[in-house]
Amino acid sequence: MQRQIAQFLTYMRVERGASDYTVKSYREDLIAATDYFAEEDGTCPAPASITAVELRGFLSALHEAGYAKTSIARKLASLRSFYRYGQREGWATSNPARALRNPRKGRSLPHFLTTEEIGTLLSAPPAESPMGIRDRAILETMYSGGLRVSEVVGLSDADVDLAQEILLVKGKGRRERLSPLGSYATRALKAWLRQRKLSPSEKQGREAPVFTNRFGTRLTTRSVGRMLEKYLKETGLDLRTSPHTLRHSFATHLLDRGADIRSVQELLGHKSLVTTQIYTHVSTANLRAAYEKAHPRAK
């Protein structure tokens, strides 16, 4: 097996142009497999004789040893590539790694802010400066409708209906949805649009961008990220917070207060309910924490 591994690594480096780091990763993954089989059988078998069942045993051993699922998935990918090469070279008649499924990656719960923290953040932009008025309108709009940062900077005047308190949001895959505006966001947007008209550099018309920089051009997602970071530092809030955290907070707070998951799915613009269900785990975790803190016989 050592000879086939050496030939495979040479092939990856010379013919496929793999980087030194990639070749090193392949080498480590394949040597881990040879070490396992040598320990199990006393000697490393020829790679063509290794079955899918035996490879599954190798992956199970990695799992029991505490390897991360991402590491196990990478080793499986290396074995698939190795056996594909073997089929090409003729020393393998099949690819036993192909039949094995990658381990399911656990989904980490999204980071979100509490309602108190959201209140602190949204009140941070100064109401007496033009940029502060704009920043508050951005943050209020994102939290009010659970908008992605790309969606909020993509808003044009034609997408805003302040009389009905709704936005026409253009989401992923060119899917459009109507997003309601709360009273706080509506007031903040009205204040910004009044302020925006005072600038001679501002564009006019239905296609004019709602949120602009000091030069009157459409704001970028990167600029929103920098703006948010500034207020996080000023307020002492968690610096892990990103523009997307406002969207996570929006969904979590709605579910915490009894909104049904289908409605939250529609509001977020998720194509699949599975994507939205991660927020039910957050709400359940909060409920469990409250129970354990309050119930006298919870522990």
Find out whether 51 and 96 touch, Cβ atoms under 8 Å. Answer: yes
Find out whether 253 and 119 touch, Cβ atoms under 8 Å. Answer: no
Find out whether 159 and 210 touch, Cβ atoms under 8 Å. Answer: yes
Ramachandran sector of residue 236 (left: φ over 0; alpha: ψ -120 to 50; beta: rest): left
Compute the distance between CA of residue 1 and CA of residue 289 in angstroms, rounded to an integer.
52
Strands of the chain, DSSP E: 160-161, 166-170, 176-180
Known catalytic membership, residue 172: yes
With vertex at residue 262, the alpha carbon angle to CA 258 and CA 268, rounded to the nearest 5 degrees, is 95
Known catalytic membership, residue 253: no
Find out whether 69 and 238 touch, Cβ atoms under 8 Å. Answer: no
**How many Cβ atoms from other residues are within 10 Å of residue 171's Cβ?**
18
Known catalytic membership, residue 270: yes
Known catalytic membership, residue 244: yes
Compute the distance between CA of residue 92 and CA of residue 4 in angstroms, rounded to an integer.
10
Task: Please report where in the chains the tokens 């523009």 appear, as a residue.
Answer: 243
From 75, 136, 247, 253, the catalytic residue: 247
Residue 149 is which amino acid?
A: V
Beta bridge partners of 218: 212
From 148, 196, 248, 253, the catalytic residue: 148
From 3, 172, 194, 288, the catalytic residue: 172
Alpha-carbon radius of gyration of the chain: 27
User: Going by C-beta distance under 8 Å and a sequence separation of 6 or more, which residues neighbour residue 230?
Assistant: none
Are β-strands 166-170 and 160-161 bridged in parallel, bridged antiparallel, or unpaired? antiparallel
The residues that are catalytic are 148, 172, 244, 247, 270, 279
